[in-house]
Amino acid sequence: MPNHVHGIVVLKPPLAGDRIHPLPEIVRGYKTFSSRAANAVRRRTEPLWQRGFYDRIVRDEDELARIREYIDNNPIVWHLDRENPELPTAIRPVEAGLASGGAPIPRRQGRV
């Protein structure tokens, strides 16, 4: 999708002496460095990312497989997304049920 990004972050136990980086710090770093790179290319300075993020703890392999499938299929439904400027106005009211690709994945909002 051109208006957001999905990712899977695997947090491993730190090795002896390693600094622990909590998820909000990792996301903040990703947003900071990607914004700088994108704005350098675009020759702009305005914010690239919205505040906050949504995270989800993956509990087992089946859930991980479902999330991977959701991420893989997400760009396919862009033509139905209400944020798509090319979406015909006539179908905007019904797209919410079609664009999700099924039941939404429950999520918790982070603070970055």
Residue 105 gets the label, from left (phi > 0), alpha (psi -120 to 50) or beta, of beta
Task: Print the SS3 string covering 37-87.
Answer: HHHHHHCCCCCCCCCCEEECCCCCHHHHHHHHHHHHHHHHHHHHCCCCCCC
Greater confidence (107 vs 61) lies with 61
What pLDDT score was predicted for residue 99? 45
Entry pTM? 0.66
Q: What is the tens place of the pLDDT at every residue in 44-55?
A: 988 889 889 999
Kindly tell me if the per-residue pLDDT of 2 is higher than 50: yes
